[in-house]
Amino acid sequence: MKFYYVRRFERDLDELWEELKRKIEEEGFLIVGERIPVSIVEREDGIVADYHVLFICDREVVAELVKLDPNIGALMPCTAFGYVREDGVYIGIGLPSVAWKIAGEEVVELMQPMEEKLKEIIDSL
């Protein structure tokens, strides 16, 4: 089972990244942090460059999650990521429905709508 959702694009990473952030905020999600470690990593299947990471939360979902378990902060926030390879630019998200299973099915159910909305945002880029 994949723990991420990712799409390949034929556009500039910085342009896509700014559009992703704008759409995330338009949907009412909070961007609580961003890291853009510009690096190049050689892998057997190609070079990964300009790895970006975005940290995302939904205030209403967090309020519901905290009711279930006040220690839920150990799993927050959700992440989006982007990088460049020889064959294109990739934008993706970590899937809370997979990553958060450790916290129980109730938590996964609460995260499902956020996950679906984030996938829709990526598909709309």
Look up tokens 């559009």; give the residue: 19
All structural domains of the chain with their residue ranges = 4-124
pLDDT score of 48: 86
Whole-number Å distance between alpha carbons of 125 and 115: 16
β-partners of residue 81 are: 53, 92
Look up tokens 């909305």; give the residue: 117
Give the tens place of pLDDT for each residue, 57-101.
998 999 999 999 999 988 888 999 999 999 999 999 999 989 889
pTM for the whole structure: 0.89
Residue type, 118: L
CATH class of 4-124: alpha beta
The token duo for 92 is 């993706």
Look up tokens 């998200």; give the residue: 93
